[in-house]
Amino acid sequence: MMQNRSVLEVFKTFLGHVVIKQEVDNLTLRRFLRARDHSVEKASAMLLKALRWRKEAVPGGSVPEEKIRRDLDDDKVCMGGVDRTGRPILVAFPAKHFSAKRDMVQFKSYVVYLLDSICARIPRGQEKYVCIVDLKGWGYSNCDIRAYIAAIEIMQSYYPERLGKALMIHVPYMFMKAWKMVYPFIDNVTRDKFVFVDDKSLQEVLHQEIEESQIPDTLGGKLTLVSLKNYARSLPA
């Protein structure tokens, strides 16, 4: 712990006024340090790039729903419950995404919106979320390598150490061809977080990770998912 604290202090000193001006907290600094193997220089470059990106990508502080209405209406992402450690769960349905109707600028804003939404659910004492990627029904019309790479780039570059695990389920054989093209763009830290689950082991893995009351009803559990477009409306005022 002493070593971690000393590295953190060096990191804060290296960044200087940026930490104070942007109100970057210690937890955020630690995540960027872990993402760059506690290299102060590399973590600083990563954080400063992320701060510049945030200012340009989300000038108002949040993405307006009207800007991403088309993606929201497709219901390709839902909010789930929590895993056994209390991490919130995001459930994605890539078969509801169609490359022919995708607008890259809007899609990137949609990714920011969903990442901001799931990160806002992370409770005190946790830093990460879990994602279930249900590929049931996925086919060539859903294949969108550019969008996948863009989403992963945003996640690993600007939301480092937020993804705890991604369970890839109902994976069709043809998807693995697409995955081979995406894989080289995933950094080593993030690669290990993608876990491919075969259908025979699905229920066992789900129950190991999640209590039955928190498993989506679409996967045999008892929890009703909330679409991303309805999630904000379900929050207390």
**Mean pLDDT computed over 123-150:** 96
Q: How far is Cα of residue 157 from the mean position of the Cα atoms in its chain?
A: 11
Q: Which residues contact 170 (CB under 8 A, 6 or more apart)?
A: 134, 135, 136, 199, 202
Per-residue model confidence (pLDDT) at position 24: 73
Contact between 93 and 79 under an 8 Å Cβ cutoff? The reply is no
**Mean pLDDT computed over 145-167:** 97
Contact between 89 and 210 under an 8 Å Cβ cutoff? The reply is yes
Helix (H, G, I), strand (E, B), or coil: what is residue 91? strand
The string of pLDDT tens digits covering residues 194-228 is 999 999 999 999 999 999 999 999 999 999 999 99
Contact between 150 and 108 under an 8 Å Cβ cutoff? The reply is yes
Mean pLDDT across the chain: 90
d(CA 237, CA 221): 29
What separation, in Å, do the N-terminal and C-terminal C-alpha atoms of the chain show?
40
Per-residue model confidence (pLDDT) at position 1: 39
Q: How confident is the model at residue 2 (pLDDT cuts 50, 70, 90)?
A: very low
The string of pLDDT tens digits covering residues 4-54 is 556 767 666 666 655 545 567 888 888 998 999 888 889 889 998 999 999
**Residue 3 pLDDT greater than 70, yes or no:** no
Helix (H, G, I), strand (E, B), or coil: what is residue 94? helix
Q: Using H for helix, E for strand and C for coil, what is the string for 150-177?
A: HHHHHHHHHCCCCEEEEEEECCCCCHHH
Strand residues in 64-199 grouped as ranges (E): 77-82, 88-92, 129-134, 163-169, 194-196
Per-residue model confidence (pLDDT) at position 20: 46
Give me the percent of the chain exceeding a pLDDT of 70: 89
CB atoms closer than 10 angstroms to residue 109? 18
Closest CA to 219 of 234, 207, 231: 207
Contact between 229 and 65 under an 8 Å Cβ cutoff? The reply is yes
Per-residue model confidence (pLDDT) at position 25: 80
Closest CA to 75 of 233, 191, 182, 225: 225
Q: Are strands 77-82 and 194-196 parallel, antiparallel or unpaired?
A: unpaired
